[in-house]
Chain A
Amino acid sequence: MNERNALENYIEASAGAVDLTIRAEHLESTAQALAVLLEQGKILMAFPLEQNTESATQYSP
């Protein structure tokens, strides 16, 4: 399976999980945008955070 097929399969599976239907004409551009996001996600997930690093979801500088 090539990378684009894998992306499209991912899109189909995860879109259903959030009750979203991606129209055929939007699939190509969504796959491109998703590829960029996943690339950024890899950079983010590779960062070695200490286990005791607390979340800053409630943000106040």
Chain B
Amino acid sequence: MIPYPTLAARDIARQVRRREITAAEITEAALATVNQQNHRLNAFTAVLPERARAEAVRVDVDIAAGHKPGPLAGVPFAVKNLFDVKGLSTLAGSKIRRDVPPAQQDASLIRRLAQAGAVLLGALNMDEFAYGFVTENAHYGATHNPYDTARIAGGSSGGSAAAVAGGLVPLALGSDTNGSIRVPASLCGIFGLKPTYGRLSRAGSFPFVHSFDHVGGFARNVADLALCYDLMQGEDPSDPAQSLRPIEPSLPNLQMPVENLRVAVLGGWFQQGALADALDALARVAAALGATATVELAASDVARAAAFCVTAAEGANLHLPDLRVRAGDYDPATRSRFLAGALLPGQYLLQAQRFRAWYRAQALELLQQYDVLLAPATPCIAPLVGQVFMKLGDREIPVRANLGLYTQPISFIGLPVVTAPVWLDGAELPIGVQIITAPWREALGLQVANYLELSGVVGYRAPA
């Protein structure tokens, strides 16, 4: 029997290439695992057995014919349901988009992974229109945390994180506007990469906030994440916001020693209210990297406020036509924020855009002094499904809007971040740490995460 739920993507591809196992056999194991586990997690909103089987056969035929099947030969993966999947309506977690015509082609990143031999298994649950940190979706239900199904997986890419952590797929794609890769990666104990704004093509993904929407990946180990990231790089004219930078692969230096790095911990806003788990995890990673300095990124509360306002206003503008005629079809949690966002003063947006230039300059100055900045990914471990408030310090605040307190300022200025999972002694749930680097230095973030993983400081643990 194939130990599918714990196999790394690279191990699957290696075995398929060596014909020790077929892509068809791996696909059947993956579909069986999804069939067994998805009712517990509610990670998938669509499973595509016919497509997956056809793609797997194609990989096996290629190999039999002596062709190179690609670095992800036969590796199952799945995507947040805001990515276009040929033949499916792109839901973006909504009821409103159930009736849109099926996508005519796959999103760019899906095509790139498929060209590398990966096999798409299906689409994954999310907060409606990516507006949330909890994946408790009024239309498709809550996605549950694989370590404790009474708890949330985080969001908005909650289905992606739960599917990877729960062993349903070794790789998944998600999006991150305010923390939607980093929050669920933290709560589900896996690695997540939010690349620099403009690094990866967003073509064929349903937008939320154009000016800081990012797409990225999840994996159970750093090398898989790095491989997936490298394969997704490359210019795509169909995303006008994408940078024209050349491909900068992370794998060649992934195993290089991490030496003479200047590492600092972000204090101030990034630790305010954090619970002991978040601070202990941060301290463990900081100690392993020899970080002794704690530095402040000034006005991060303002950056968070700016991100909050821009998100509501830009999101609302995108949805204005539907808000006018069918507001009742939105998830109540999304609707109220979009309606309110449509009414914000224009001055907020102009101030936010000008503040962004100022804040980015402060961050870049700090990143000239330090190669890596560390911060908690979430202020706490996974809250319970249905939990409305959480206590941080002496304040009781809503869970849905505040799990991304420490992620929002960073995505507001587009910096690349790897989220790495920490298991504290005796802990029953994981928590993540953000490894933040200067723009375009994803490879360094992955290299640091890899060092920490090999040192046993961070890493994935299979759920019992």
Contacts and interface: CB of A to CB of B under 8 A. Distances in A.
B355 A30 contact: no
Nearest to A27: B339
Contact of A43 (B305, B320, B336, B358): B305
B360 A43 contact: no
Interface in A23-55: 23, 26, 29-30, 32-34, 36-37, 40-41, 43-45, 47, 49-50, 53-55
Contacts of B369: none
Interface residues of A, number: 34
Contact of B351 (A15, A23, A49, A60): A49
B460 interface: no
A22 B413 CA distance: 33
A13 B284 CA distance: 52
B342 A49 contact: no
Interface stretch (B74-82, B94-102, B171-179, B322-330): B322-330
Contact of B353 (A20, A33, A55, A60): A55
B309 A15 contact: no
Interface size class of B (residues with CB under 8 A): 35 or more
Interface string B347-384: 11011111111101000000000000000000000000
B211 interface: yes
A32 to B, nearest CB: 7
- Chain B: interface secondary structure? helix
B198 A32 contact: no
B439 interface: yes
Contacts of A40: 304-305, 308-309
Contact of B343 (A14, A32, A50): A14
Contact of B345 (A30, A41, A49): A41
Contacts of B276: none
A55 B350 contact: yes
B306 interface: yes
Contacts of A14: 343
Given A26-B336, A44-B351, A20 B323 contact: yes
Interface of A: 10-11, 14-15, 18-23, 26, 29-30, 32-34, 36-37, 40-41, 43-45, 47, 49-50, 53-57, 59-61
24 contacts: A11-B343, A20-B320, A20-B323, A21-B324, A29-B336, A30-B339, A33-B340, A37-B308, A37-B309, A37-B312, A37-B344, A40-B305, A40-B308, A41-B344, A43-B301, A43-B302, A44-B309, A44-B351, A45-B348, A47-B299, A53-B358, A54-B354, A59-B198, A61-B415
Interface of B: 196-198, 211-212, 241, 243, 299, 301-302, 304-306, 308-309, 312, 320, 323-324, 327-328, 332, 335-337, 339-345, 347-348, 350-358, 360, 401, 413-415, 439-440
